[in-house]
Amino acid sequence: MESAEIKLHLKVFFEEEFPNPGNTLTDDTNLLNDWFVDSFGIVNTTLFLEKKFGIEVCRADINANTFRSIESLSQYVAHQLKSINGS
Amino acid sequence: MQNLAIEYLQNSKNKFPDKTALVDDGQGITFNRLWDNSLALAYWINTEFHITNQPISVNLPKSIDAVIALLAIQLSGNIYVPLDIDTPAKRKEKILEVLGSDLMLELIEGKFSLSGKILSNSYENTVEIESSVLEKLSTRKPKDPLYIIFTSGTTGTPKGVTISNASVIDYIDWAVETYKVTEAEIIGNQAPLFFDNSVLDLYLTFAKGCTLHLFPRDVLRFPAEFGTYISNHKINFIFFVPSLLSNLVALEIFKDYDLACLKKILFAGESMPLNTLKLLRSGFPSALLSNLYGPTEITVDAIYWVCEGNIENLNEVPLGKPCDNHQVIFLDEEEKPVTTPDKIAEICISGPGVALGYWKDAATTRGVFISNPESGKQDETIYKTGDLGYQSSKDGLIYMTGRKDNQFKHYGYRIEAGEIENALNQFEFILQSCVLYDSQKKRIMAFYTAGKLESSPPFRNLLSGILPQYMIPHSFHQLDQFPTTQNGKVDHKILREKIMGPKNGIR
């Protein structure tokens, strides 16, 4: 899956799950500080990643670096997909 | 006979002077140091301000300094008021207005400051300071207020629940006995200081000489950080809101981390879902699991249940039975006692934990702190919680079924829908608003009617100047009109069914 496609899926997910009218969600928006992804949102996002992309999210990877932005999350997803496909 | 809550710390610092009392962000402080630093700040308050029994708000992030501030204020014979440092300035102003005092303890460039004055002296002669502070304190009585904690109010103005020293002592002595707390306990603190669950963590530590870790923020957001922190620091005792425990079990945290050190897991602040309890039990087969219940107005908790034996047959998690020295009375809508088991009525509580009332608000106090209507008990004050529940005929335990008003719990925070609606109604374009809570998805939803709008207003930005973050609704829905009841009020039941489908019960 292309990076742009992963980002689009993530953007749709965050805009639906965490609607923030009048504000624009970009690839670099800080999800934890400038959007309002709370601890329950982190759990839901983890479950979404596992279901949508068929990856396994190692619990140690659920951290502030991975969950910083759509950019960092998409890189994480791409990396996990690559290791599944073995390429 | 103990008069004041501060005596817990005084005794423990004599017993365990060099033991670590608090840990924050890798920094620790011993019992002796905690006592000396608190005394020095109290001495400065006494010599600079000459005040007694006055509320002093504490505008500090959770930290060792914030705990020193709470201790110093009580040592100076005054009443501490922990504020949410992130709450908008407008809401803080309302709180100071209710308090009738703008005395606020803060840190300026690393130094304590109170109403513009800055603590710059360093006091060396601790013996003299101690005797001066303790002498002034000797006139303070058990029934004198220890702290004021603010809770959401329906009109938009928060209410200051005022709790006495005697109430905290009764509660802590009960908890020490019930949970067999000793100095071996290493407690992990989740609750903010402005949320009264933190009273248990703090005063158990002071009472028994435990060590208390103030969890860094990321420990509570990220399960992996939690797992690592718990196992690295051998935390064995936590008192959490159920939402956070639900998050941990949803990600099966105990499979990846060795959490065997966690032996006492207490939870309160909102309903514990049965599924979470079952997962907790299987993850921690030998730990003590205990559900507690109590609004701020009865000093942290008044009903408790220890999870023992087979829980497979439970249909829901019970609140349990009253804590020592407390009674639960069920009242019907006419405030008449209900003694029939299984009959749903309002949960009311009597006992030493009942608050002194709401600070400087006699009218609201009179509405919910009433004389016990049971025969021969009219001298006793009971607190009407607004929670509905019943005593089961099967196991004799108390269960909660919902609320009689529009209050709800979100991550353990107690929120009046009215406070959010009030904030929304301040915007000119809003005609009418209504706030509902979806407890399954943990979401606050706002509904409103408005004139013609070009686009959806930036609600989060607008509200963040008025409400604390945890009160800002998750979603905003414009309606053409609200469904109404026969007397013209918004019909919550129909609105809820329209949005979430039928069978969606309580807020």
pLDDT in the model for residue B451? 85
Please give, rounded to a whole number of angstroms, the shortest distance from the CA of A60 to a CA of chain B: 5
Question: A47 to chain B: which residues are within 8 Å by CB?
Answer: 250
Nearest residue of B to residue A24, measured between CA atoms: B458
User: Which of residues B403, B429, B446 is at a domain's end?
Assistant: B403
The verdict on B480 and B420 lying in the same domain is yes
Q: Is B320 exposed, middle or buried (0-12, 13-18, 19+ CB in 10 A)?
A: buried
When pLDDT is cut at 50, 70 and 90, the band that residue B507 belongs to is: very low
Chain A contact for B223 (CB, 8 A cutoff):
yes
Question: Cβ contact (<8 Å) for A59 and B218?
Answer: no
Q: What is the mean pLDDT of chain B?
A: 94
Mean of pLDDT values over B486-506: 76
- CA A8 → CA A46, A76, B17, B114, B303, distances in Å? 17, 15, 58, 51, 49
pLDDT in the model for residue B502? 59
pLDDT in the model for residue B108? 93
The three-state DSSP-derived secondary structure of A12-78 is HHHHHHCCCCCCCCCCCCCCCCCCCCCHHHHHHHHHHHHHHHCCCCCHHHCCCCCCCCHHHHHHHHH
pLDDT in the model for residue A39? 81
CATH of the domain at A36: 1.10.1200.10
The verdict on B341 and B383 lying in the same domain is yes
Chain A residues within 8 Å of chain B (Cβ atoms): 18-23, 32, 36, 38-40, 42-43, 46-47, 59-64, 67
Chain A contact for B442 (CB, 8 A cutoff):
yes
Question: B472 to chain A: which residues are within 8 Å by CB?
Answer: 36
Which of B255, B257, B474, B478 best tests the A interface by mutation, with the highest count of A CBs <10 A? B474
Q: What is the pLDDT of residues B61-118, one digit of tens each?
A: 999 999 999 999 999 999 999 999 999 999 999 999 999 999 999 999 999 999 999 9
The verdict on B363 and B377 lying in the same domain is yes
Mean of pLDDT values over B333-352: 97
CATH of the domain at B418: 3.30.300.30
Nearest by Cα to B74 from B240, B196, B203, B192: B203
pLDDT in the model for residue B254? 78
Question: A39 to chain B: which residues are within 8 Å by CB?
Answer: 220-221, 243-244, 247, 411
* B184 within some domain: no
Question: Cβ contact (<8 Å) for B223 and A20?
Answer: no
C-beta separation of A27 from A70 below 8 A? yes
Task: Report the distance separating Cα B362 and Cα B440, nearest Å.
Answer: 36
User: Which of residues B380, B403, B426 is at a domain's end?
Assistant: B403
Question: Cβ contact (<8 Å) for A63 and B227?
Answer: no
Please give, rounded to a whole number of angstroms, the shortest distance from the CA of A23 to a CA of chain B: 7
Of all residues in chain B, the percent with pLDDT exceeding 90 is 84
The verdict on B436 and B356 lying in the same domain is no
* B154 within some domain: no
Tell me the torsion sign for CA atoms B268, B354, B199, B67. Answer: positive
Q: Which residues of B161-178 are buried (b: 16+ CB within 10 A; e: fewer)?
A: bbbbbbbbbbbbbbbbeb
Chain A contact for B402 (CB, 8 A cutoff):
no
* B36 within some domain: no
pLDDT in the model for residue B504? 45
Q: What is the pLDDT of residues B380-426, one digit of tens each?
A: 999 999 999 999 999 999 999 999 999 999 988 999 999 999 999 99
Q: What is the pLDDT of residues A57-80, one digit of tens each?
A: 988 899 999 999 999 999 999 999
Q: Which residues of B124-152 are buried (b: 16+ CB within 10 A; e: fewer)?
A: eeeeebbebbeebbeebebebbbbbbbbb
pLDDT > 80? residue B275: yes
pLDDT in the model for residue A87? 53
- Higher-confidence residue of B507 and B391: namely B391
Mean of pLDDT values over B217-233: 88
Tokens at residue B90, please? 């407008």
CATH of the domain at B380: 2.30.38.10
pLDDT > 70? residue B23: yes
Task: Report the distance separating Cα B243 and Cα B161, nearest Å.
Answer: 24
Please give, rounded to a whole number of angstroms, the shortest distance from the CA of B426 to a CA of chain A: 18
Tell me, what's the ipTM?
Answer: 0.85
Nearest residue of A to residue B442, measured between CA atoms: A40
- Domain residues for A16? 3-85
**What is the count of structural domains for chain A?**
1
Nearest residue of B to residue A66, measured between CA atoms: B222
* B471 within some domain: yes
Given A22, A39, A61, which is nearest B461 (Cβ)? Answer: A22
When pLDDT is cut at 50, 70 and 90, the band that residue B503 belongs to is: low
- Domain residues for B399? 326-403
Please give, rounded to a whole number of angstroms, the shortest distance from the CA of A58 to a CA of chain B: 9
Question: Cβ contact (<8 Å) for B456 and A64?
Answer: no
Please give, rounded to a whole number of angstroms, the shortest distance from the CA of B494 to a CA of chain A: 24
The verdict on B399 and B412 lying in the same domain is no
Nearest residue of B to residue A18, measured between CA atoms: B474
pLDDT in the model for residue A4? 94
* B238 within some domain: no
Given B220, B256, B461, which is nearest A59 (Cβ)? Answer: B256
Q: What is the mean pLDDT of chain A?
A: 90
* B4 within some domain: no
Question: Cβ contact (<8 Å) for B459 and A21?
Answer: yes
Mean of pLDDT values over A9-16: 94
User: Which of residues B356, B382, B403 is at a domain's end?
Assistant: B403
* B340 within some domain: yes
Mean of pLDDT values over B336-364: 97
The verdict on B384 and B332 lying in the same domain is yes
**What is the count of structural domains for chain B?**
2
pLDDT in the model for residue B262? 96
pLDDT > 80? residue B500: no
Question: Cβ contact (<8 Å) for B251 and A46?
Answer: yes
pLDDT in the model for residue A35? 85
* B72 within some domain: no
Nearest residue of A to residue B220, measured between CA atoms: A39
